[in-house]
Structure 1
Amino acid sequence: MFSCHVWFLLSGLIGCTGNSTAAIWFSVPENHHVCLPCGSSGSSDVIWTRQDQEVLVIRRGGYKTNKDCRRYRLMVNGDLCVQHLKESDHGRYRCNQQLVAELQVLTGRDYTVSAGRTLLLPCSGSSKPKQRWFQQREGERREAVLTKYRNGTVKPERGGGRLSFTNDALQIQDLQPEDAGEYVCNGLLQARVTVLAAHAETSSQPPSTSTPPSPAVVTAAAPTREDTELQPWTASSAPTEGEDLETPPLCGETIHYASLGRQNWRERPSRSPPEQSHHSVIYSSVVSRPAARAEHKL
């Protein structure tokens, strides 16, 4: 719990931005941990926030406060270590108002991660101090990628310097399409990784491979009549004065129908009206028309 006067400390920390640092876009499995760099070296005053709203840790001089001491550990240099990651930990983290990390929490064993992010893979289920990591791409033989020896020595065996052992896990920086595949540590399957193409702007939500076109959204004023009949509305343009609303659109356009209040269905070929209800409802449908104009019976 924060003390009652903690909010008064925020204004005093506004100007403590420290040295700038590039934000790290982490993807980490749940129940693991990750340490986030503050980048404000030389400043003893530190405030960590998530999503610009949730205050996690504050240190100002001899005063310290922590939202959850079991999960948030503030290091001497101002870095924040988040323990026992949960899905709710997803989001952007700021140290002294400076964006330093965006965290994606992965669940299960099948991970979908965007290219360019930093992926952590802990060796779960094995208590051996030595870790031997392999990757197997689809249709290819298993290949050794990294070895961590008992004395702590780490030997990356490929990856061009992007592979390391950090945060007690195999760390892959600047994830690339060739990093996709199954990852095995000490003979145990740890993850199946799918790498999405990099986007121009990294999002806090995992992106999809393709973005379907979104239908136009029309906001209408509340009807003044108790019964509002279905009226067609083309997504491409609004009707002008004197334009016949019942004229069917050309091929490729979309019509949105809506009924507010008690429904008043018109007879349509090969379609029977739904069961009538006395409750106020909203009906909507999207209709695609052929290129040729069709005659409509009113």
Structure 2
Amino acid sequence: MEIPAVIRFSVPKNHSVCLPCGSSDSADVIWTLQDKEVLVTRRGSYMTNKDRQHYLLKPNGLCILHLDESHNGGYRCNQQLVAELQVLTGHEYVVSAGRTLLLPCRGSFKSKQRWFQQREDERREAILTKFKNGTVKPEKDGGRLSFSNNALQIQDLQLEDAGEYLCNGVLQARVTILPVHPETTARTTPSSAVMTTVAETKKINMKPEIVLLLIAVVSLGLMIIFLAAVCVLLTSMKCRRKKKYRAAATPRREDTELQPWKPSSRQKECEECETPSLQGEMIHYASLGRQNWRERPSRSPPDQSHHSVIYSSVITRPAAR
């Protein structure tokens, strides 16, 4: 039995899409999502349906109505992977090359649909027209454009399919096509490819917010560093002032101890003349420092200066026998 090709659909939110069951001719059908969740079953005349508002079983496949993010993933019919679904949100779509894109005509109630594509820096180009009687006329060569699932269908997306799409003059979507490398495609499972594409879409959509957040974080960090530097500078200046005040308030230690002083030869001669004949020894001391004079009624030193030299003489004599 030939294995059917997996259809990789990219469909906007709230639209509907019908998935074929492949080449299975069995009357018994089991549809599962991600090979785990059972959606719809049919065994003869007995049928089950998990959610009738979203799932409609048809003889040749399964229709998923009112798409939302919970419908992302791979769909299996009788354990055979037949389709892979990516639900698009907003109006800016990021889709990988090779997928099948569905674009419904929203905002226009005309039965005739006129589709245009406008690439960047190029003129608007008519690509497909759906007439009132249901006839579809692709106006662009290549055979990849059609009208299916009540929407413009672009199969096997290429880089040239990027741009803005308008239906009856109303902008429907801005489409960006991501190139797919062969190695990545061969090693990536369908479900992981969908999740990767969804993650890329969210990443691109959130890019302005991420940039603003990074700017705010960097600005806050610079502000904190600046405030810390100012605090360190103020603390350093305060410590220096305290040291200066302490140095000014602390009295200067001065050497006021008496030091032996040797008189000159002339002073010695005068002293020998005036000194009594008793044997003794005279020791002279000199001290450089502040005088601690006390005022007395009979004596006060004249012309006291802030610093002066104090001379003292001590005479030693042997004790009398």
TM-score (norm 1): 0.62
In the alignment, what sits opposite 1:46? Answer: 29
Helix, strand or coil for the counterpart of 1:204?
Answer: helix
The CA deviation at 1:19 is 5.4
Structure possessing the higher radius of gyration over alpha carbons: 2
Paired AA for residue 57 in structure 1: V
Q: Matches of 1:47 and 1:158 in 2, distance apart?
A: 39
Q: Matches of 2:54 and 2:70 in 1, distance apart?
A: 13
Paired AA for residue 160 in structure 1: G
Q: Matches of 1:42 and 1:178 in 2, distance apart?
A: 38
Q: Matches of 1:138 and 1:63 in 2, distance apart?
A: 54
The CA deviation at 1:204 is 2.0
CA separation of 1:33 and 1:179: change in aligned 2, threshold 3 A: same
In the alignment, what sits opposite 1:86? Answer: 68
In the alignment, what sits opposite 2:110? Answer: 128
In the alignment, what sits opposite 2:149? Answer: 167
Query: For residues 193-228 of structure 1, what are the alpha-carbon distances to aligned partners after superposition, in whole Å with 9 as ceiling and x for unaligned?
Result: 00000233151224459xxxxxxxxxxxxxxxxxxx
- Any conservation in 2 of the 1:19–1:41 contact (CA below 8 Å)? no
CA separation of 1:206 and 1:123: change in aligned 2, threshold 3 A: farther
The CA deviation at 1:125 is 1.1
Query: For residues 119-153 of structure 1, what are the alpha-carbon distances to aligned partners after superposition, in whole Å with 9 as ceiling and x for unaligned?
Result: 00000111111000000000000000000000000
Query: For residues 145-171 of structure 1, what are the alpha-carbon distances to aligned partners after superposition, in whole Å with 9 as ceiling and x for unaligned?
Result: 000000000000114000000000000
- Any conservation in 2 of the 1:25–1:101 contact (CA below 8 Å)? yes
Query: Does residue 23 of structure 2 align to residue 60 of structure 1?
Result: no
- Any conservation in 2 of the 1:104–1:204 contact (CA below 8 Å)? yes
Query: Does residue 97 of structure 2 align to residue 115 of structure 1?
Result: yes
The CA deviation at 1:89 is 0.5
Query: For residues 252-291 of structure 1, what are the alpha-carbon distances to aligned partners after superposition, in whole Å with 9 as ceiling and x for unaligned?
Result: xxxxxxxxxxxxxxxxxxxx9xxxxxxxxxxxxxxxxxxx
The CA deviation at 1:69 is 1.0
Q: Matches of 2:140 and 2:196 in 1, distance apart?
A: 27
Q: How does 1:1-298 map to 2 (within 5 A)?
A: 20-77=3-60, 79-200=61-182, 201=185, 203-207=193-197, 208=200
In the alignment, what sits opposite 1:222? Answer: none
Q: Matches of 1:53 and 1:95 in 2, distance apart?
A: 12
Which runs of no fewer than 5 residues in structure 2 stay unpaired? Answer: 202-227, 229-321
Paired AA for residue 178 in structure 1: E
Query: For residues 38-91 of structure 1, what are the alpha-carbon distances to aligned partners after superposition, in whole Å with 9 as ceiling and x for unaligned?
Result: 0144210100000111110000111100001121011012x0000000011000
Q: Matches of 1:157 and 1:71 in 2, distance apart?
A: 34
Paired AA for residue 143 in structure 1: E
Paired AA for residue 68 in structure 2: K
Paired AA for residue 149 in structure 1: F
- Larger helix percent: 2
- Regions of 4+ moved over 6 Å: none
Paired AA for residue 80 in structure 1: L
Q: Matches of 2:196 and 2:157 in 1, distance apart?
A: 14
TM-score (norm 2): 0.58
In the alignment, what sits opposite 1:3? Answer: none
Which runs of no fewer than 5 residues in structure 1 stay unpaired? Answer: 1-17, 210-271, 273-298
Aligned residues: 192
Helix, strand or coil for the counterpart of 1:178?
Answer: helix
Helix, strand or coil for the counterpart of 1:174?
Answer: coil
Q: Matches of 2:32 and 2:46 in 1, distance apart?
A: 17
Q: Matches of 2:124 and 2:32 in 1, distance apart?
A: 42
